Structure 1
């Protein structure tokens, strides 16, 4: 199959497929007489594996390590549980950060309760302008 067919089958952008090839995550396919890349089932499966790992927000370095283990389980020492635990730790840290961001936005949102045609009387804008001047605001009080 050609690269655009592989892209369609996996939902991965053509440029991303080329990038994965360049980075060594996806082996370069054979070329047809006309120079087009000719992908086959193993490319499809490997790209689907990569896509799934990326959907789990795994860094490319970890995906590469996993692929190395898949390709040669006896030749690679990899603690897959530890790799997933590290990813869980990163996700939990981001969730904590996102909850803090949500709290800040809720505090900011509480400063305004409707449409203000003149804009200046909107508590949200007042808070944002205060913050721009280095003053404390609802979402980032000085401590």
Structure 2
């Protein structure tokens, strides 16, 4: 894939792909005929992984360190102090919030009368109840019933 194709497949801009390439996060090969940068399926996976980590607020220097584990084919040094571990609770909470939204969409398309209102969903997501509680993450939709 060329830059623009990778960008489209990854849901980012071509400038983002070029920036990640300059930062060493993506490693294209060069087409010997024309010098174009070419990316493979692994690059698309890396791009999506980078995008996920960025959505958690993880910066490029930390992402570069994480990807170096892959590049060096070494196991990650994951311990209690690793940034990924620190983001684990936030990630699980985000997953549950997105699942709640997906369930709400499912209910509104299949059983509109029984579905909670969008206002209720938004209020629940904004409340302390949508955060991770003592029993683990809670979904907004399950709390509305």
TM-score range normalised by the length of the shorter chain: 0.5 to 0.7
2:78 aligns to what? 79
Mark the runs of 5 or more structure 1 residues left unpaired by the alignment: 89-143
1:34 aligns to what? 34
TM-superposition CA deviations, 1:36-83 (whole Å, max 9, x none): 222111111111111111111111111011101123353x76335421
Structure with bigger gyration radius = 1
**Number of matched pairs:** 90
Q: 1-side partners of 2:79 and 2:52: how far apart? A: 15
Higher relative contact order (CA 8 A, sep 6+): 2
1:17 aligns to what? 17
Q: After the TM superposition, which of the residue ranges 47-56 and 64-73 deviates more from structure 2?
A: 64-73
Change (3 A) 1:86 1:61: farther
Q: When the two structures are superposed, what TM-score results if normalisation uses the length of structure 1?
A: 0.52
> Alpha-carbon deviation of 1:35?
2.7
Mark the runs of 5 or more structure 2 residues left unpaired by the alignment: 89-145
1:53 aligns to what? 53
Q: When the two structures are superposed, what TM-score results if normalisation uses the length of structure 2?
A: 0.52
Change (3 A) 1:69 1:80: farther
TM-superposition CA deviations, 1:94-125 (whole Å, max 9, x none): xxxxxxxxxxxxxxxxxxxxxxxxxxxxxxxx
> Alpha-carbon deviation of 1:86?
4.7
Q: 2-side partners of 1:66 and 1:80: how far apart? A: 13
TM-superposition CA deviations, 1:7-40 (whole Å, max 9, x none): 0000121111111111111113222513322211
Which consecutive aligned stretches of 4+ in structure 1 deviate over 4 angstroms post-superposition? 85-88
Change (3 A) 1:68 1:80: farther
What pairs up with 1:103-118 in 2 under 5 angstroms?
none
